[in-house]
């Protein structure tokens, strides 16, 4: 059985869907692995590294994908690669299921069985396959490191003969995987950290990391069964905005992480709030690819508004490509293992909730429930 790994085509994508370690594991199961030439360059995995692990190298995406039983990539494969894939092939990638529907339909029309790794169910058995968690963890860390580099003052308190340097005040908005890692990283750097979330249950996790939890008294818990945040009511939005407005004016660094699956990112930090912050303050908008949590953010850019720096870097995990690719490759390896029989054949169990939870297309149709609501 052949597994193909494609090079990414997006200009800001440095990650790759296989590491030499994951290639070695697949080869150990008796599978043939073909890597598109240069696919790992952005993550510092050379073609020779892959060859040493047992892979063969194909010059183009078309050559790699042709005849493959399984195709792996970080983002949606390009149309040229899709055309080269055989009917019935499995595609596993971050397919952006809430993005361009035409591309999803194209995967179905090509007869591909496509799995969107963002939709892996958040259950215990699937934790090792959860790409959102592995990538968000790195993104939360990188957001704080970027903020510290941009910040014109020190993060930790320093006592010197010339006086005391006060610790930076960091406010993290959203206590999911990215937010919790941001809290932990900011604390390690010596900052005084506070955080907020619309899910009351997040308070214990925030406190366990040594940060202060800021929550609207009496607000209804806004979490879904899967542990995600859901959109607030208009009344609770108003309460949350008032709380944030009062708290944010005294913060040196604000990191926003709020996303709602299938919806534009909610506005958390208004222009008016930004203008209450001291000159030299930093905002890192981690939701900028979905419209941003701050209306002043610009995707891929660092901008300044009345002395406040607003950082809108896209693809934060890709800025730590070596780690991000290794973790993502392991996520994919664990997921693909579900489909490989003991005699190294493709065997998809359509009774498995992990499989059904992230399957987008199969047998020429778009099958996931998110498209049938």
pLDDT digit string (tens) for 196-241? 998 888 999 999 999 999 987 655 555 555 555 556 667 777 777 8
Q: Are residues 50 and 159 in the same domain?
A: no
Those residues of the chain that have pLDDT short of 50 are none
Q: Are residues 313 and 356 in the same domain?
A: no
SS3 11: coil
Q: Are residues 199 and 99 in the same domain?
A: no
Q: Are residues 104 and 225 in the same domain?
A: no
CA–centroid distance for 204 within its chain: 23
Instruction: Give the Cα separation of 354 and 119 in Å (integer).
Output: 9
Contact present, 53 and 23 (Cβ < 8 Å): yes
Q: Are residues 244 and 332 in the same domain?
A: no
Q: Is residue 68 part of a domain?
A: yes
Q: Are residues 56 and 167 in the same domain?
A: no
Residues with a catalytic annotation lie at 122, 127, 130, 133, 228
- 47: exposed, middle or buried (Cβ count in 10 Å: 0-12, 13-18, 19+): middle
Give the pLDDT score at 343.
92
Give the pLDDT score at 198.
85
Q: What CATH number is given to the structural domain containing 237?
A: 3.40.50.720
- 49: exposed, middle or buried (Cβ count in 10 Å: 0-12, 13-18, 19+): middle
User: Look-up: residue for tokens 């008796």?
Assistant: 30
Q: Are residues 61 and 100 in the same domain?
A: yes
Number of domains in the chain: 2
Range of the domain at 92: 2-130+320-364
Q: Is residue 19 part of a domain?
A: yes
Written as one string, the DSSP assignment of 143-188 is HHHHHHHH-SS-SS-EEETTEEEPPPEEEEE--SHHHHHHHHHHHH
Q: Is residue 372 part of a domain?
A: no
Q: Are residues 14 and 66 in the same domain?
A: yes
Tokens at 9, concatenated:
């085509």
Give the pLDDT score at 261.
79
State phi, psi for 178 to the nearest 5 degrees: -65, -45
Q: Are residues 332 and 354 in the same domain?
A: yes
Give the pLDDT score at 67.
96
Q: Are residues 48 and 155 in the same domain?
A: no
**Residue 94: count of CB within 10 angstroms of its CB:** 19
Q: Is residue 199 part of a domain?
A: yes
Closest to 174 (Cα-Cα) out of 207, 197, 145, 149: 197
User: How does pLDDT run across 55-88, given as a tens digit for each residue?
Assistant: 999 999 999 999 999 999 999 999 999 999 999 9
Q: How many residues does the chain have?
A: 373
Q: Are residues 80 and 177 in the same domain?
A: no
Q: Is residue 371 part of a domain?
A: no
Tokens at 42, concatenated:
């952005």
Task: Count CA atoms closer than 13 A to 70's CA, side-chain side.
Answer: 26
Q: Is residue 232 part of a domain?
A: yes
Q: Are residues 53 and 155 in the same domain?
A: no
pTM of the predicted model, to two decimals?
0.92
């Amino acid at each position: 059985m052949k597994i193909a790994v494609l090079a990414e085509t997006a200009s800001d994508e440095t990650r790759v869907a296989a590491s030499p370690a994951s290639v070695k594991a697949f080869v150990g199961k008796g599978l043939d692995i073909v890597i598109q030439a240069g696919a790992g360059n952005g993550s510092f995995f050379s073609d020779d590294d892959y060859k040493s692990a047992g892979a063969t190298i194909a010059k183009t995406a078309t050559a790699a994908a042709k005849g493959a039983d399984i195709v792996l990539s970080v983002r949606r494969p390009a149309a040229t690669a899709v055309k080269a894939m055989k009917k019935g092939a499995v595609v596993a990638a971050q397919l952006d299921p809430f993005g361009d529907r035409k591309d999803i339909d194209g995967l179905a029309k090509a007869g591909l069985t496509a799995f969107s790794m963002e939709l892996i169910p958040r259950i215990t058995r699937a934790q090792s396959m959860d790409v959102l968690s592995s990538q968000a963890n790195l993104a939360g860390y990188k957001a704080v490191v970027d903020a510290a580099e941009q910040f014109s003052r020190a993060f930790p308190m320093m006592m010197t003969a010339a006086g005391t340097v006060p610790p930076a005040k960091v406010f993290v908005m959203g206590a999911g995987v990215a937010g919790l890692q941001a809290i932990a990283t900011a604390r390690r750097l010596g900052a005084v950290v506070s955080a907020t979330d619309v899910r009351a249950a997040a308070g214990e996790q925030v406190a366990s990391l040594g940060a202060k939890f800021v929550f609207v008294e009496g607000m209804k818990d806004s979490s879904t069964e899967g542990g995600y945040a859901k959109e607030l009511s208009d009344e609770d939005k108003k309460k949350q905005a008032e709380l944030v407005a009062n708290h944010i004016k005294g913060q040196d660094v604000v990191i926003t992480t709020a996303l709602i699956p299938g919806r534009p990112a909610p506005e958390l930090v208004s222009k008016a709030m930004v203008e209450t912050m001291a000159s030299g303050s930093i905002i890192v908008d981690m939701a900028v690819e979905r419209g941003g949590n701050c209306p002043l953010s610009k995707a891929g850019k660092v901008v300044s508004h009345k002395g406040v720096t607003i950082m809108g870097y896209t693809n934060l995990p890709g800025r730590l490509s070596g780690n991000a690719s290794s973790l993502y490759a392991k996520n994919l390896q664990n997921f693909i293992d579900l489909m490989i029989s003991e005699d190294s054949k493709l065997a998809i169990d359509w009774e498995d909730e992990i499989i059904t939870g992230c399957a987008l297309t199969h047998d020429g149709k778009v099958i996931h429930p998110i498209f049938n609501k």
